[in-house]
Amino acid sequence: MERNLPAGLPVLSDEGTEHDSGRGRRRRSPLPSLTPYLQVLPGGLWLVIFFVVPMFVMFSVSLQTGNVVDGFRQTFNLSIYVDAVTTYQTQFLRSLLYGGLATLVTIVLAYPMAYWIAFHGGAGRSRYLFLVLAPFFVSFVIRTVSWRFLLSDDGIVLGNLKDVGLLPDDFRVLATSTAVIAGLAYNFFPFMLLPIYVALERIDPRLLEAAGDLYAGRVSVFSRVVLPLSLPGVFAGVLLTFVPATSDFVNSSILGGTKDTMIGNIIQTVYITNANYPLASALSFILMAVLLIGIACYARLLGTRDVFEMSTR
């Protein structure tokens, strides 16, 4: 039975949408909302000004020839990239190796610690995280130099062990690849711990209880529930650790020897000491390109879409 409504009042259809009896459906504005674009504008401008523009400037400088006395001019010298790769390929490969090993070490150390804090830390989670992060409020260089004092041949650790006869007198850690990798792992440890902790902390404990109720053992619960849900944190931690560890030059300078030179040390020497700006720019551009390609391959191999789909199931 239809009811007579006063003229001019809107009519509600069965779907709950409002219609005007005289005008039909309400028209939408043909212009899209500018709110999403305004929200992304500050971050986009920041990336353009401080990443995209410097990248093009660096690429332009790498193609120049000249010196600091007579000046540099643009000659589009593409051969400098071939010379840079052939001359410093050892340092490139060493940097990738050291960065990769340091990343693996941080995963092995950070994942169990993050797991314990997330599931067994209780009310003291914040306190434990603060204890882990407290040393990193000190300068990066000071922390690395302190490792040099600790690991020196006659230092607090090795000196006492040699005195009691647990280590031979010629044993040393400094000026070795082990010291450099250990320093990298230590300095970039929080970049791995925090993303993994955040991913683990988001896991609902009821999922673990449900898996136990379905007669899943601890190994099955970890491999089929916890690990897949924490993969986004591992993925982010690898990116945040591998990139700066590969391009680092402080640890190899302080803890390493002449055979542990990384590409960051070469770029620093070529730019500051030799003032060869085109070569330094070419090396930096190659390193950035290699890292971006490696990250893309890593994301493709791991399958970021699958990772995040698993985390949301």
User: How far from 132 is each of 135, 191, 231, CA to CA, in Å?
Assistant: 7, 12, 22
Tell me the whole-structure pTM to 2 decimals: 0.82
pLDDT at residue number 1: 47
Name 81's Cβ contacts closer than 8 Å, sequence gap at least 6.
Answer: 62, 282, 285, 286
Residue 71 backbone zone (phi > 0: left; psi -120 to 50: alpha; other: beta): left
How much of the chain exceeds pLDDT 90, in percent?
Answer: 54
What is 75-311's CATH number? 1.10.3720.10
In the chain, alpha helices (H): 35-47, 53-62, 79-120, 125-133, 140-151, 156-163, 177-187, 189-201, 205-213, 218-221, 227-246, 250-255, 263-268, 277-302, 304-311
pLDDT at residue number 304: 56
Distance CA 202, CA 229 (A): 9
Banded model confidence at residue 253, pLDDT cuts 50, 70, 90? very high
pLDDT at residue number 63: 94
Average the pLDDT over 2-20 and give the result: 50
Longest CA–CA span in the chain (Å) reads 104
pLDDT digit string, tens, across residues 259-297: 999 999 999 999 999 999 999 999 999 999 999 898 888
Average the pLDDT over 227-241 and give the result: 91
Average the pLDDT over 135-152 and give the result: 89
Tell me what the pLDDT averaged over the chain comes to: 86
Report domain extents, the chain: 75-311
pLDDT digit string, tens, across residues 169-217: 888 889 999 999 999 999 999 999 999 999 999 988 888 888 888 888 8
Asked if residue 22 has pLDDT above 60, the reply is: no
